Amino acid sequence: MTTAQVTQAKLFRVDGFRNPTLSEERRCALEAAEGEPLDMSVAGVLEAATARTGLDDFGRRDFEDRLRQLLGEVDSDTNVWTAAKKQFVVHCITAAVNRLKNRDFLKRHPQIEDIVIDRPILVVGLPRSGTTHLENLIASDRRLRYLPVYLGAEAVPAPGEVPGPDGREPRWHRANQRWQRVKSNPIMEAMHEHSPDHACGDNELQMPDFASYQWEWMADVPKWRDYYLATDQSPHYQYGRTMLKAIAFQQPNARRWILKGNQHSEQLPVLTRIYPDATIVMTHRDPLAILQSVLTMRGLQVLASQKNPNIEGHVEYWVDRIEKMLRAYVRDMDVVPAARRVDLLFQEAMADDVGAAQRVLKAADLHPTHESAEDLRHYMEHHPRGKAGRVVYDLAGDFQLDPKALRERFRFYTDLFPVRHEV
């Protein structure tokens, strides 16, 4: 299995990409599980979701085709361990459970449709480009509200669920249990906090509609990617916005939303139709720095899920994917009115986090106040960069990539946005 070496205090190095190996104990366990029964049918997923919730109204059934495509693509991959396929089925069942709960909640509260999502701030940068930090920093401003992990994972409670003696909802505790499992791997804790109250991407709200690019982070699904890119995502963005309204209904207040979604960078025409009064914030970072982080983070799952880790295929996929996302942003960025678009260079945010956040707030007509500045500084004092550690990357050594060739490949982007070279 991959090992993470602590090179010094809070510095980590992933050494599994150059010569992927499994411990004998782990390999034996995975091989033993190969003979276990595996149901990757749509019917199996939906029956499991119904059994867990006692609900059976999934709403529009067009999602079944999307679910079938995801399940079929993972099922047909003979290089994926059965244990990993089972885990993917669990993700699908969870999404179907949430779809049932969402449908039931919306039927019981039709007034949700009348709620207005007023002038949200939407951070749309690529994965590993500083979007999560920026979102959480801006969200600390008391004039705003955000989507916490536990609500992104479960937009509505299960029927009959109420807060416990500690005042926490069961869905908060479920999110915390997941985070405790994830953070048991110190590399994952260092790379991406996902604690229950941390701000998360609103892509999560589309998962019960079996939509979004989020599924690409859960399995190798190139056919799904092609389908997603070729299909109008408006209905799924509408679905996500409806669930955001449902959250606002449960926790009413007059504050505006700060949200983020990495896939939004390639969906600007759809995004601006669904949120026509949004302020759009694009974080710009060295594509090579993005790549080495994406390849490492997603690569950890490749090492764990594939019988013979196809690192070359993994690299080819994500280099192409990041290029597609950047080309889409360059192509479509002018659909956002200049007065409501903020292009923020990563190095600017690194040099002055609070100043960068204040620039975004001002663009959204939230002008600086003493209280706002205090909120932002307080967040930075308690959430310093690298608090849980830092991963040391090696783009050329781990992934056999030529930085010079990549620089040329991404010139269409870096000629427009003068990001500082980090690799």
Tokens 């033993």 appear where?
A: 32
Q: What is the pLDDT of residue 9?
A: 54
Q: What is the pLDDT of residue 310?
A: 97
Nearest alpha-carbon partner for 264 in 319, 179, 309, 205: 205
Residue 210, Ramachandran bin (φ over 0: left; ψ between -120 and 50: alpha; else beta): left
Give first-to-last CA distance, the chain, whole Å.
27
Between CA 358 and CA 362 the distance in angstroms is 6
DSSP letter assigned to residue 13: E
Tokens 């690409």 appear where?
A: 216
CA–chain centroid gap for 200, Å, is 7
In this structure, are residues 391 and 192 in contact, taking their beta carbons and an 8 Å threshold? no
Three-state SS for 104-119 is HHHHHCHHHHHCCCCC
Between CA 190 and CA 4 the distance in angstroms is 12
- Per-position DSSP letters for 371-391, written without gaps between them: HHHHHHHHHHHHS-TTTT-EE
In this structure, are residues 47 and 91 in contact, taking their beta carbons and an 8 Å threshold? no
Going across the sheet that includes 390-392, the strands are 4-8, 11-14, 390-392
Here the tokens at position 415 are 């000629």
123-134 burial: b if 16+ Cβ within 10 Å, else e: bbbbbbbbbbbb
Burial class (CB in 10 A: 0-12, 13-18, 19+), 163: exposed
Q: What is the pLDDT of residue 287?
A: 98
Here the tokens at position 325 are 């996302």
CATH number of 4-414: 3.40.50.300
CA–chain centroid gap for 143, Å, is 24
- Residues lower than pLDDT 50 in the chain: 1-8
Q: What is the pLDDT of residue 4?
A: 47
Nearest alpha-carbon partner for 81 in 266, 309, 252, 275: 309
Hey, where are the domains in the chain? 4-414
C-alpha to C-alpha distances, 34 to 106, 179, 220, nearest whole angstrom: 41, 28, 19
Three-state SS for 313-349 is HHHHHHHHHHHHHHHHHHHHHHHCCHHHEEEEEHHHH
pLDDT tens for each residue of 279-301: 999 999 999 999 999 999 999 99
Helical H segments across 167-263, by residue range = 170-183, 186-191, 222-230, 234-250
Residue 167, Ramachandran bin (φ over 0: left; ψ between -120 and 50: alpha; else beta): left
Q: What is the pLDDT of residue 192?
A: 87
3-state secondary structure of 20: coil
Here the tokens at position 162 are 């109420």
Nearest alpha-carbon partner for 283 in 413, 191, 195, 144: 413
Between CA 284 and CA 348 the distance in angstroms is 10
Here the tokens at position 191 are 């790379």
pLDDT tens for each residue of 143-163: 999 999 999 999 999 999 999
Between CA 134 and CA 380 the distance in angstroms is 11
Between CA 384 and CA 298 the distance in angstroms is 24
Going across the sheet that includes 256-260, the strands are 144-146, 256-260, 121-123, 279-284, 341-345
Which residues neighbour 240 within 8 Å (Cβ) at sequence distance 6 or greater? 202, 203, 205, 206, 209
Here the tokens at position 339 are 């007065």
Q: What is the pLDDT of residue 406?
A: 98
3-state secondary structure of 236: helix
Here the tokens at position 197 are 């109250």
Here the tokens at position 243 are 């669930």
DSSP letter assigned to residue 261: -
